């Protein structure tokens, strides 16, 4: 089976098309601080508008626990979508209630509406199949077809992602098709040298990815909080840095497997160590095998890769033809500890091949550090979904669209 795409739905003129987007954007005081996911939805929405569809956009935002919560309203998203589409976007103040029904029924060809946060209804994320299917049935009354385009949620068996696609004629939007094309290139016959850069706080979050990609990559660069578990697995003291003691044997296994396979695992040679976890904390750069010898002794905490490591990582990235990066190299939210992440991001913009930013914190980091999306080969909107795909897992939101 192959993925059903927009073409499989035939003419959409005059049809009510429910589009399941992933508009789960960060908000501060009701203002969107990163509209990357809203922008990522535009190609599909514009295609449907031009086709004369009556577009009904739905999404979740945050974790409102199955009941309305004003701080998780999609109203700011509808406003931003209107600005980006340069046309009015109607907003329904509920999900499947009177406001949603009236708003959708008022749509003309080429017009767009956003319905309120799907997770304001407990049926969206219910574990009970019948409860979830009942909510999907209510959603189905708002549309004639479904276009699934929220790649960030395809790993979830939720009402709008899975059950609705079984009720209505359904197909993937352009965003999902693009994501799958890129992820396929990362797992099937990638151009070499192929380098994977992993950061973020925990090794345990990346176990499946490491296991699945080790046989496929040429180099694995390890930064972020997870680097300290790798250093500890080699016998180095890491002071008060983040350490997952229960993963030490697993990491030793990865190091041994990499050696057997001829995969180069590149670990930091220097680390920025701070007196505490704070933006203004005193800090210094020390050798990665001498963390406890910093001025802070056993209370020191590593918060970034050091400059020598950043330069070595950048060289490895630039010399590669395929690069996948997931997870910041340090606490990029604090300017004093953002240099490693910035060096990796900059190098990724200079790859002569495919350079992929793997969503989540990595995507947030590159934008916060001043990079533009179009400087990279691809910025995934997937986060957890991207990682699960790269682990080789079956994703229910894709299987229901014919992907096998």
Q: Which among 166, 130, 131, 129 is positioned nearest to 146, based on CA atoms?
A: 166
Contacts of 40 (CB under 8 A, 6+ apart): 22, 175, 381
Active site residues: 37, 202, 360, 384
- 180, 234, 225: which is closest to 206 by C-alpha? 225
Annotated ligand binding at 360? The verdict is yes
Q: Confirm or deny that 362 is annotated as ligand binding.
A: yes
Q: Is 60 annotated as a binding residue?
A: yes
> Is 86 labeled as ligand-binding?
no
Please enumerate in sequence order all residues whose Cβ is within 8 A of that of 146, keeping only pairs 6 or more positions apart, or say none. 17, 18, 19, 20, 164, 165, 168, 169, 170, 171
185-206: b or e for each residue (b if 16 or more CB lie within 10 Å)? bbeeebeebbbbbbbbbebebb
d(CA 56, CA 79): 15
Beta carbons within 10 angstroms of residue 377's beta carbon: 17
- Going across the sheet that includes 112-114, the strands are 89-91, 112-114, 54-58, 16-20, 145-148, 170-172
Q: How far is CA 116 from CA 9, 13, 87, in A?
A: 26, 24, 19
For residue 333, say whether it is annotated as part of any ligand binding site. Answer: yes
Answer for the pair 209, 390: CB distance below 8 angstroms, yes or no.
yes
**359 marked as part of a ligand binding site:** yes
121 marked ligand binding residue: no
* Contact status, residue 337 vs residue 271, Cβ threshold 8 Å: no
Question: Does 22 appear as a known binding residue?
Answer: yes
Asked whether residue 156 is marked as a ligand-binding residue, the answer is yes
According to the annotation, is 146 in a ligand binding site? no
Q: Is 119 annotated as a binding residue?
A: yes
- Is 261 within any annotated ligand binding site? no
- Helix ranges, 97-240 (H): 98-105, 129-140, 164-167, 174-187, 207-213, 227-233
For 272-338, where are the alpha helices, taking DSSP H only? 307-318
CA distance 123 to 138: 10
Alpha-carbon span 323 to 339, nearest angstrom = 19
Q: How far apart are CA 246 and CA 234, in angstroms?
A: 14
Torsion angles phi and psi, residue 115, rounded to 5: -95, 160
Residue with tokens 């003129």: 13
DSSP structural state of residue 60: -
Binding residues for ATP, by number, are: 206, 302, 333, 359-362
Binding residues for (2R)-3-phosphoglycerate, by number, are: 37, 119, 156
Binding residues, by number, are: 22-24, 37, 60-63, 119, 156, 206, 302, 333, 359-362
Binding residues for substrate, by number, are: 22-24, 37, 60-63, 119, 156
């Amino acid at each position: 089976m192959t993925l059903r795409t927009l073409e499989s739905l035939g003419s959409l003129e005059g049809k009510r098309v429910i589009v399941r987007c992933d508009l789960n954007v960060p908000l501060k005081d009701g203002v969107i601080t990163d509209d990357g996911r809203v922008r990522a939805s535009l190609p599909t929405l514009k295609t449907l508008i031009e086709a004369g569809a009556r577009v009904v956009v739905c999404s979740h935002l945050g974790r409102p626990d199955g009941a309305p919560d004003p701080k998780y309203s999609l109203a700011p998203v509808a406003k931003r979508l209107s600005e980006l589409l340069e046309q009015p976007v109607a907003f329904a103040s509920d999900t499947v209630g009177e406001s949603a029904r009236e708003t959708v029924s008022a749509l003309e060809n080429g017009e767009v509406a956003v319905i309120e946060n799907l997770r304001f209804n407990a049926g969206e994320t219910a574990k009970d199949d019948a409860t979830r299917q009942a909510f999907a049935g209510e959603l189905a009354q708002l549309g004639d077809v479904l276009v699934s385009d929220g790649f960030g949620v395809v790993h979830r068996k939720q009402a709008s992602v899975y059950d609705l696609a079984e009720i209505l004629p359904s197909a993937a939007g352009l965003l999902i098709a693009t994501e799958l094309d890129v992820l396929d290139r990362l797992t099937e016959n990638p151009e070499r040298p192929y380098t994977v850069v992993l950061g973020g706080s925990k090794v345990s979050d990346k176990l499946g990815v490491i296991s699945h990609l080790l046989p496929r990559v040429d180099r694995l660069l390890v930064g972020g909080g997870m680097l300290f578990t790798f250093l500890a697995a080699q016998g180095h003291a890491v002071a008060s840095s983040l350490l997952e003691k229960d993963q030490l044997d697993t990491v030793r296994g990865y190091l041994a497997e990499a050696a057997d396979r001829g995969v180069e695992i590149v670990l930091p040679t220097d680390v920025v160590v701070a007196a505490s976890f704070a933006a203004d904390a005193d800090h210094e750069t020390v050798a990665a095998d001498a963390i406890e010898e910093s001025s802070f002794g056993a209370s020191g905490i590593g918060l970034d890769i050091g400059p020598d490591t950043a330069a070595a990582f950048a060289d490895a990235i630039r010399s590669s033809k395929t690069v996948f990066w997931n997870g910041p190299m340090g606490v990029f939210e604090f300017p004093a500890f953002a240099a490693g992440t910035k060096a990796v991001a900059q190098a990724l913009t200079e790859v002569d091949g495919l350079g992929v930013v793997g969503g989540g914190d990595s995507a947030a980091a590159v934008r916060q550090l001043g990079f533009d999306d179009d400087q990279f080969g691809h910025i995934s909107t997937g986060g957890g979904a991207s990682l699960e795909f790269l682990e080789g897992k079956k994703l229910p939101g894709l299987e229901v669209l014919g992907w096998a």
